[in-house]
Structure 1
Amino acid sequence: MVAPTIWIMAGEASGDVLGGRLIAALRRQRPDLLFRGIGGVRMTEQGLESLFPMRELAVMGLVEILPRVRSLARRLDMAVADITRTRPDLVVTIDSPGFALRLLKRISGLGIPRVHYVAPQVWAWREHRVREYPGLWERLLCLLPFEPAFFRRHGLEARFVGHPVLQSGADTGNAVRFRAAHGLDPAAPVLVLMPGSRRSEVPRLLPVFGRTLSLLAARIPGLVPVVVASPVVAETVLRATRDWPVQPIIVTELHDKHDAFAAAGAALTKSGTSTLELALAGVPMAVTYRVNPMTAAIARRLIQVPHVAMVNLLAGRQLVPELLQQDCRPDRLAETVETLLTDTEAAGAQREGFRTVLTSLSIGEEAPADAAAREILELLYQIGGNAPGE
């Protein structure tokens, strides 16, 4: 029997992490599987040879994407051509709906079963787009517990497989190790700064973070800033922080990030999955974001949810402060972060809320990546008859 091939793609750092875990889980359940596609460091660690560098797809924003349209179109053509030529047994796309859903549509006539992992967040904005989805995939895998009911209302089946943040290890860091590795006083207050993983977003947030730090350094003696940077933006972060009033520790490795979480008294982060990582680690946080003003104006008209931070959406209330666009100002950010670093009651209230949020993300004993792999293999066997021994 010829080993089945799964063509799998991710378009940004968070999807690459999911892809790496998913490939490992698939191999545990079906060791003979072969993989092709597009991925970053985590997926290549699992043996994937990326068709082209994943970083070429990592862009966000309605306006920010315009200069990249031609380049993205060429990469889409390359992906379609590769799938058409190699005829894999199944295609898995991970998040990155702008690219992934176009890819799924382009290959719809090939008769290859398709799985989309990480449901498009049309429940948050542009709900009308759900009308475009019938026929794009054979199976949709969701990370959030309320998503299957949303898609069901629109006549689409979707399956909740648990949120991969539960496998992230964000709660396994060692504060003592982090302080020893960087020569920090055991009592020094540590602030984690998470400006994002995309080259399009980091330059907007880092200058604000730097000015915020100037204010905080005067109010909180000995404050140690730690910037978490993905490999994609590490050089950008290094250059942008050289003139900061307090030189930050820059961490790029996963274990260093988790150790920093364990040592942190608070965090200032962009919206996104990072809020769930921090919640798992029990780090009180403030959430901020800033995009092109035109993008923001369009988004305000389209957003249909009361909160931007995922941790707030799952809590059903503003558990953590959200300081977005015009509120993404050094004075506001410094005031909010100072409260989290100095007010034990405020910090404790967040930690208490995190426990409820994290419980809602679990499907029981099965790890999210294993649940996703099980769904994918079930589809592979159901459509292709590729169960072991067949």
Structure 2
Amino acid sequence: MKLFVIAGEASGDKLGGALMAGLAQLAPGIEWQGIGGPDMAEQGLQSRFDMAELSVMGVMEVLPKYRHLKRRIAQTAQAVIEMRPDALITIDSPDFCLRVARLAREKLPDLKVIHYVAPSVWAWRPGRATKMAQVVDHVLALLPFEPPFMQAAGMSCDFVGHPVVAEPRASKAEAAAFRETHMIGADQPLALCLPGSRAGEVKRLGKRFDEALMQLRDREPGLRVVLPTVHGVAPMVREMSARWPIAPIVVEHSADKRAAFAAADIALAASGTVSLELAANRVPMVIAYDANFLTWHLIWHLMKIDTVTLVNLVSDTRAIPEFLGPDCKPRMISRKMLEVLEQDGARNEQMAAMEETMARLGEGGEAPGLRAARSVLEFLNKG
């Protein structure tokens, strides 16, 4: 079997790596081509170019790179055409992936296209599902309420669970060792600072997150900060955070990040899947996000929901506080973080929402990567 797979950012690379591992278990001997990161490379993919080239978002962020991205789309579509795979599997990054699929289908009209991660049509731009159905046959959904939206648009769709429920977590001993290694006392408050996995997000949110944490330390003098990061932005993060008044402990390796999550008392995080990682580790959190002025206002006017935090959406609560757009201000953020640290009621409400979220996402069941692989094979066998 020949499969061409594309992921455009760190979260997609994780999904792709787990899917490839699942397929290797169920259908050994697959020939892989495509684009991905380190997780997919571990499963045998030689990426055609650095996945970080695709990790851009927002109108103003994409415009300067438009010509380069357009060229990469054409090159990738041509590679799909030359390979003539049994299926093209695209993972998230729809602006890039679906353009590749459309171009490839012009030459290979019978090409089967599977998209991993349903577009959030329940949140904004519901017409995306109908547009996607023009080039996508089957969807692998991460959230349990998504399949009906995809099926209504004409695609088959399976809820395969969210990969966060199967990710390894550090033990209490590893968390204690992390604190000891970095000379963090057992009673010292430890905060995670998570300003995003894209360079644009880190640049935009980093200073505000640092200011919020400085204000929190005024009330909690012993506060220590850990900044987990990803390979694509790690050099920039280290250079930027070295100039912060509160220099965080920057960790990049998976084991260190797992230990930091297990050791943390609270997190300040950008909106995104990281809220589910925090929920899996039962870390109380405050979510904050902002974008370029034009990008933010375009998105805000199209929103159909009153929260962007996945823990709130999956648990059907509003337990996780958010500071978005104009409300993404350090003073407001630090006050809420202090409340979460000091008030049992606020923490307990979050803990209950996180427990419900993990249960609904499949915690304790079959690994999502294996479920996704099974869905792919069942879809291909139907054809």
TM-score > 0.5 by shorter chain: yes
The CA distance in 2 between the partners of 1:340 and 1:216, in whole Å, is 11
The CA distance in 1 between the partners of 2:130 and 2:23, in whole Å, is 31
Q: 2:102 aligns with which of 101, 105, 109?
A: 105
Is residue 298 from structure 1 mapped to residue 298 from structure 2 by the alignment? yes
Is residue 29 from structure 1 mapped to residue 11 from structure 2 by the alignment? no
User: Would you say how many aligned residue pairs link Structure 1 and Structure 2?
Assistant: 380
Does the 8 A contact of 1:92 with 1:115 survive in 2? yes
1:258-337 → structure 2 map (5 Å cutoff): 258-337=258-337
Q: Secondary structure at the match of 1:378?
A: helix
Does the 8 A contact of 1:213 with 1:245 survive in 2? no
Q: Which whole-Å deviations, capped at 9, do the CAs of 1:58-80 have from their partners, x for residues lacking one?
A: 00112211111111101101101
Does the 8 A contact of 2:133 with 2:153 survive in 1? no
Q: Secondary structure at the match of 1:107?
A: helix
The answer for the alignment partner of 2:117 in structure 1 is 118
The CA distance in 2 between the partners of 1:214 and 1:281, in whole Å, is 24
The CA distance in 2 between the partners of 1:142 and 1:190, in whole Å, is 34
The answer for the alignment partner of 1:85 in structure 2 is 82
CA deviation after TM superposition for structure 1 residue 153, in Å: 3.3
Q: What code does the residue aligned with 2:382 have?
A: Q
The answer for the alignment partner of 1:157 in structure 2 is 156
Gap regions ≥5 residues in structure 1: 384-390
Is residue 64 from structure 1 mapped to residue 53 from structure 2 by the alignment? no
The answer for the alignment partner of 2:227 in structure 1 is 227
The CA distance in 2 between the partners of 1:213 and 1:363, in whole Å, is 32
Q: What code does the residue aligned with 2:72 have?
A: R
Q: State the TM-score, normalized to the length of structure 2.
A: 0.96
The CA distance in 2 between the partners of 1:363 and 1:378, in whole Å, is 23
Does the 8 A contact of 1:275 with 1:311 survive in 2? yes
Q: Secondary structure at the match of 1:269?
A: strand
Gap regions ≥5 residues in structure 2: none
Cα distance change, pair 145–202 in 1 and its aligned pair in 2 (3 A): same
The CA distance in 2 between the partners of 1:91 and 1:128, in whole Å, is 23
The answer for the alignment partner of 2:378 in structure 1 is 378
CA deviation after TM superposition for structure 1 residue 241, in Å: 1.1
Q: What code does the residue aligned with 1:250 have?
A: V
Cα distance change, pair 59–135 in 1 and its aligned pair in 2 (3 A): same
The CA distance in 1 between the partners of 2:33 and 2:248, in whole Å, is 38
Q: Secondary structure at the match of 2:6?
A: strand
Q: What code does the residue aligned with 2:163 have?
A: P
Q: What code does the residue aligned with 1:207 have?
A: K
**RMSD between aligned residues:** 1.5
The CA distance in 1 between the partners of 2:121 and 2:60, in whole Å, is 19
Q: Secondary structure at the match of 1:47?
A: coil
The CA distance in 1 between the partners of 2:352 and 2:338, in whole Å, is 19
CA deviation after TM superposition for structure 1 residue 344, in Å: 2.5
Q: Which whole-Å deviations, capped at 9, do the CAs of 1:88-112 have from their partners, x for residues lacking one?
A: 2221110111111111212224122
Is residue 16 from structure 1 mapped to residue 13 from structure 2 by the alignment? yes
The answer for the alignment partner of 2:217 in structure 1 is 217
The CA distance in 1 between the partners of 2:311 and 2:73, in whole Å, is 33
1:349-388 → structure 2 map (5 Å cutoff): 349-362=349-362, 365-383=365-383
Q: State the TM-score, normalized to the length of structure 1.
A: 0.94
Q: What code does the residue aligned with 2:156 have?
A: E
Does the 8 A contact of 2:136 with 2:155 survive in 1? no
CA deviation after TM superposition for structure 1 residue 35, in Å: 0.8
The answer for the alignment partner of 1:246 in structure 2 is 246
The CA distance in 1 between the partners of 2:201 and 2:81, in whole Å, is 34
Cα distance change, pair 343–44 in 1 and its aligned pair in 2 (3 A): same
Does the 8 A contact of 1:217 with 1:246 survive in 2? no
Is residue 181 from structure 1 mapped to residue 181 from structure 2 by the alignment? yes
The CA distance in 2 between the partners of 1:166 and 1:307, in whole Å, is 22
Q: Which whole-Å deviations, capped at 9, do the CAs of 1:238-279 have from their partners, x for residues lacking one?
A: 111122222110111122111111111100001110000101
Q: Percent identity?
A: 40
Q: Secondary structure at the match of 1:180?
A: helix
Q: What code does the residue aligned with 2:336 have?
A: T
The answer for the alignment partner of 1:388 in structure 2 is none
The CA distance in 1 between the partners of 2:170 and 2:273, in whole Å, is 14
Cα distance change, pair 60–21 in 1 and its aligned pair in 2 (3 A): same
Does the 8 A contact of 2:74 with 2:103 survive in 1? no
Q: Secondary structure at the match of 2:59?
A: coil
Q: Which whole-Å deviations, capped at 9, do the CAs of 1:281-302 have from their partners, x for residues lacking one?
A: 0000000001001111111111
CA deviation after TM superposition for structure 1 residue 364, in Å: 6.9
Q: Which whole-Å deviations, capped at 9, do the CAs of 1:190-213 have from their partners, x for residues lacking one?
A: 000111111121100100011112
Q: Which whole-Å deviations, capped at 9, do the CAs of 1:122-141 have from their partners, x for residues lacking one?
A: 22111122221223122111
Q: What code does the residue aligned with 1:65 have?
A: V
CA deviation after TM superposition for structure 1 residue 171, in Å: 6.3
264-273 or 157-166: bigger deviation? 157-166
Does the 8 A contact of 2:5 with 2:89 survive in 1? yes
The CA distance in 1 between the partners of 2:198 and 2:372, in whole Å, is 25
The CA distance in 2 between the partners of 1:71 and 1:376, in whole Å, is 31
The answer for the alignment partner of 1:47 in structure 2 is 44
